[in-house]
Structure 1
Amino acid sequence: MKLVELHAQVELHARSLELAAEVVDTVRPDQLDLPTPCAGWPLRRLLAHVVGQHQGFAAAARGAGPDLALWADAPVGDDPAGAFRRTGAELTAAFRGAAAAGRAAVRLPEIRPDAAVPTDLAVGFHLLDTLVHGWDVAAAVGARAPLVAAVDADEALAAALSAVAEAVPAAPENRTPGKAFGPRLEPDARGGRFERALALLGRDPAWRP
């Protein structure tokens, strides 16, 4: 990927983080035990996972080796929005730094333990995670419509999300319980690109607590 394209992708990723942060901003402490579309994960655990991923991807972008400890879930206490925005800002700075330095590949031990991953793919992976987990949070608190509408209205962001979702392996061995995504679902023809991406990843766009 050309450097200018990587810079553009990093800024697209920053937009995805801001949309997700706006969702997390609405979460109240009394909602942290609500169920989420991630089976068995209450909202508190989901947010701890998301913040831990921010820290792991940021470490990778700065050149860290394949140390899984850097990817551990990070408790969010009663201020998930603060934790999300702080670590999200650190991740954006790390991605921008990697692009400026021309870092071609990073280590993502949770995804590919034995080899580096091209930096543009890493940014794309996390863009997808950001929007999908942002939707998980929105679904848990009953406020998914604004996020879905915002992504569908942003042609570049919707296209980036769709491209990564379509590229996620769909073979049964990649979609078993415990994997990041469930078996693909049939998209609703009336839904937009965000809902189609969710269905491709095994998320039911109509999920309710």
Structure 2
Amino acid sequence: MSVLELHGRAMELAAAVVDTVQPEQLVLVTPCAGWPLRRLLEHEVGQHRGFAAAALGAGADRTRWRDVPVHGDPAGAFRRSAARLTAAFATAAAAAEPAPLCLPEIGDGGPFPLDRAIGFHLLDTLVHAWDVAAALGSPARLVAAVQAEPPLVGALLAVAGAVPAGVPARGPGQAFGAVRAVPDGAGPFDRALALLGRDPAWRAPVR
């Protein structure tokens, strides 16, 4: 499968998780320190908008990367922005020579080749889908679904392994924490989470 097809599958799995979010759950704690579920989803929708703009040549405009309010319809906001992003990636990929993308929130901002940019967002999509599922108390179903598709979990693990391990790329205020150790026999999704500084065993505090 192409990275574009794998990305589409990642978006489907993530949307299925967000579909289960109820408005009263938007206050839940997430694995993203200081971010309740509402803030996390608004960030995700903003990233959809930013990557879509980048795919269409406007990624350098930082206003396109702002968080987007989800109000009382997180699933609708997520799916609408996801559809626009999927269409933008498809348009970019259809070009005879796809233009590289400016991604001001990643590293030096690029420009990055289209396939690499799609890979970045595939990782973002699946990891934040896990964040949402963990906040809801049910990450195992998502992990199992991703691991049931070897090309998809392989792509996730490959991109996670390419994220620089050193400071200042990681730490407080950054997208990723320090690389974590995982037990022997950990699955590929848990290994990807650990490579990004996530604790695969994270659970929401009991309320």
Q: Equivalent residue for 1:169?
A: 164
What is the TM-score when the length of structure 2 is the normalising length? 0.95
In 2, the alpha carbon distance for the partners of 1:180 and 1:113 equals: 14
Query: How big is each residue's C-alpha offset from its partner over 1:68-108, in whole Å with a ceiling of 9 and x where there is no partner?
Result: 10000000011100011111011011001100013131111
Q: Equivalent residue for 1:32?
A: 26
Q: Which of 183, 192, 205 pairs up with 2:200?
A: 205
Look up the SS of the partner of 1:173 in the other structure. coil
Q: 5+ residue gaps in structure 1?
A: none
Q: Percent identity?
A: 64
Look up the SS of the partner of 2:77 in the other structure. helix
Amino acid at match of 2:92: A
1:107–1:116 Cα contact (<8 Å) kept: yes
Q: Equivalent residue for 1:15?
A: 9
Q: Equivalent residue for 2:120?
A: 125
Q: Which of 89, 94, 98 pairs up with 1:103?
A: 98
CA apart distance, 1:173: 2.0
2:51–2:59 Cα contact (<8 Å) kept: no
2:68 equivalent to 1:68: no
In 2, the alpha carbon distance for the partners of 1:135 and 1:166 equals: 17
In 1, the alpha carbon distance for the partners of 2:60 and 2:172 equals: 24
Look up the SS of the partner of 2:94 in the other structure. helix
Over the residues paired in the alignment, what is the CA RMSD in angstroms?
Answer: 1.2
2:180 equivalent to 1:185: yes
User: Which 4+ runs in 1 deviate beyond 4 A?
Assistant: none
Amino acid at match of 2:167: P
In 2, the alpha carbon distance for the partners of 1:42 and 1:164 equals: 26
Are residues 172 and 154 of structure 1, via their aligned partners in 2, closer, same or farther at CA, if it must alter by over 3 Å?
A: same
Look up the SS of the partner of 2:172 in the other structure. coil
| Count, aligned residues | 203
Look up the SS of the partner of 1:107 in the other structure. coil
Amino acid at match of 1:83: A
Amino acid at match of 2:29: P
In 1, the alpha carbon distance for the partners of 2:65 and 2:101 equals: 14
Q: 5+ residue gaps in structure 2?
A: none
In 2, the alpha carbon distance for the partners of 1:181 and 1:115 equals: 19
In 1, the alpha carbon distance for the partners of 2:109 and 2:129 equals: 29
Look up the SS of the partner of 1:116 in the other structure. coil
Query: How big is each residue's C-alpha offset from its partner over 1:29-64, in whole Å with a ceiling of 9 and x where there is no partner?
Result: 110000000000000000000000000000000111
CA apart distance, 1:192: 1.0
Amino acid at match of 1:137: V
